[in-house]
Amino acid sequence: MQDSILVTGVSSGIGLTTAKYLLDRGFHVYGSVRGDAGAGELAEKPGFTALQFDVRDRDAIRAGIQRILADGNRLVGLVNNAGVAITGPVETVSEVEYRRQFEVNVFGLVAVCQEALPLLHATKEAGFEPRIVNIGSVSGYLTSPFTTIYSASKFAVEALTDGLRRELLPFGIDVISVAPGPVKTPIWKKGREQKEAFQNNRYSEMLDKLDPYTEAAEADGVEPEVVAAAIYEALTAKDPQPAVLVMKKGWMAKLLKLTPKRFQDRFFVKRLAENRRY
Ligand SMILES: NC(=O)c1ccc[n+]([C@@H]2O[C@H](COP(=O)([O-])OP(=O)(O)OC[C@H]3O[C@@H](n4cnc5c(N)ncnc54)[C@H](OP(=O)(O)O)[C@@H]3O)[C@@H](O)[C@H]2O)c1
């Protein structure tokens, strides 16, 4: 029987890097992918098993969990990483997109937790220390304009993390948020491709500012390995912090959160004008 960790969304970015990081450290990794090509280079790695599911598909999640059960591996960790970042003004973002934001980042996370928890309880009952790590974001601490819906979903992830941790405290399952600032992953390019909400409306001219702003944020981001290391720490440290912010100048984001909202408003407007994210 091997210690295993389920990581959702391992086709690219933080999920892919985390899967490799955990494999290198001896864990069996179950990684969720969508589509046949999803596992890519991971498919060849010993100790990796791809589970095919979209976090919006409860039956498919359940089938993935059944596979872990059938293999007989001990599930010691769940990393809720799968996510999308919808860009656009709240006034114009389509209903399909704002619902997708919450379906994936929030309700998908709840569904995966619900399906995986029986295995995590069994792990605890067998004398081990199972953990859930939710991938939040600095956008779950502070809200930048035009990623407001994304930010709302990540604020929800923080609330779910705190509430779930308190609910699971008596059962000995720890729940931790690892919240990155900007990280160099494909999520930024996917965001820049979402232009519909800015087209033919009063926000159109914002696009000229927004693209350089997100490009600058991505260029200044950390490598995904830095986040993978923080996730590993959250999964394995003796006494982990319940909320970890992983970003350059994280102190600045924490300080900004303490300032008056009107000050924050001016800060974000100025930063947007200067193509500088916090
Ligand atoms: N990059 C950053 O700067 C940053 C900062 C803070 C937080 N984060 C968070 O980090 C997490 C990973 O993002 P990333 O930056 O690594 O982006 P990414 O490279 O775009 O990876 C996102 C992963 O989520 C998967 N996914 C998307 N929708 C899904 C669905 N409905 N069901 C299952 N899987 C789905 C994607 O799979 P497909 O390939 O099948 O779409 C992909 O594997 C997200 O939760 C994101 O919000 C990222």
Per-residue pLDDT tens over the stretch 251-262: 999 999 999 999
Question: What percent of the chain stands above pLDDT 90?
Answer: 86
Per-residue model confidence (pLDDT) at position 179: 98
Long-range contacts of 125-129 (CB under 8 A, 24+ apart): 126/74, 128/3, 128/74, 128/76, 129/76, 129/172, 129/174
pLDDT level of residue 192 (50, 70, 90 thresholds): confident
Q: How far is the CA of 121 from the centre of ligand 1 (A)?
A: 27
Q: Give the 3-state secondary structure of the chain.
A: CCEEEEECCCCCHHHHHHHHHHHHCCCEEEEEECCHHHHHHHHHCCCEEEEECCCCCHHHHHHHHHHHHHHCCEEEEEEECCCCCCCCCCCCCCHHHHHHHHHHHHHHHHHHHHHHHHHHHHHHHCCCCCEEEEECCHHHCCCCCCCHHHHHHHHHHHHHHHHHHHHHHHHCCEEEEEEECCECCCHHHHHHCCCHHHCCCCCCCHHHHHHHHHHHHHHCCECHHHHHHHHHHHHHCCCCCCEEEECCCHHHHHHHHHCCHHHHHHHHHHHHHCCCCC
Any domain includes 23: yes
Ligand 1 atom with least separation from CA of 135? 45
CATH number for position 104: 3.40.50.720
Q: What is the pLDDT of residue 19?
A: 98
Structural domain of 111 = 3-273
Q: Whose CA is nearest to atom 32 of ligand 1?
A: 54
pLDDT category at 207 given cuts 50, 70, 90 is confident
Q: Ligand 1 centre and the CA of 262: distance in Å? A: 31
**Residues 148, 246 contacting (CB under 8 angstroms):** no
Catalytic residue among 30, 98, 150, 232: 150
pLDDT at 275: 67
Percentage of the chain modeled with pLDDT above 70: 98
- According to the model, what pLDDT value does residue 154 have? 98
Instruction: Judge whether 150 counts as a catalytic residue.
Output: yes
Give residue 84 CA to ligand 1 midpoint distance, Å: 5
**Which whole number is the average pLDDT over 39-52?**
94
Average pLDDT, the chain: 95
Mean pLDDT for the stretch of residues 104-125: 98
Q: What pLDDT does 212 receive?
A: 85
Alpha carbon 159 to chain centroid, angstroms: 14
Average pLDDT over residues 261-268: 95
Residue 218 belongs to a domain: yes
Nearest ligand 1 atom to alpha carbon 104: 31
**Number of domains making up the chain:** 1
In a domain, 278, yes or no: no
- Residue 63 is predicted with a pLDDT of 98
Residues in the chain: 278
CA-proximal residue: ligand 1, atom 1 (nearest): 183
Quote the pLDDT of residue 272.
82
Which residues approach ligand 1 with their CB closer than 6 A? 8-15, 32, 34, 38, 54-56, 81-85, 104, 108, 135, 137, 180, 182-183, 185-187, 190, 221
Q: What is the pLDDT of residues 133-171, one digit of tens each?
A: 999 999 999 999 999 999 999 999 999 999 999 999 999
pLDDT at 278 over 70: no
* Residue of 6, 7, 10, 14 with the most ligand 1 atoms within 8 Å of its CB, for mutation: 14
**CA of 184, closest atom in ligand 1:** 1
Please state, in angstroms and rounded to a whole number, the distance separating the CA atoms of residues 270 and 235.
38
- Distance separating alpha carbons of residues 163 and 49, to the nearest angstrom: 30
Q: In the prediction, which pLDDT does 92 show?
A: 97
Residue 234 above 90 pLDDT? yes
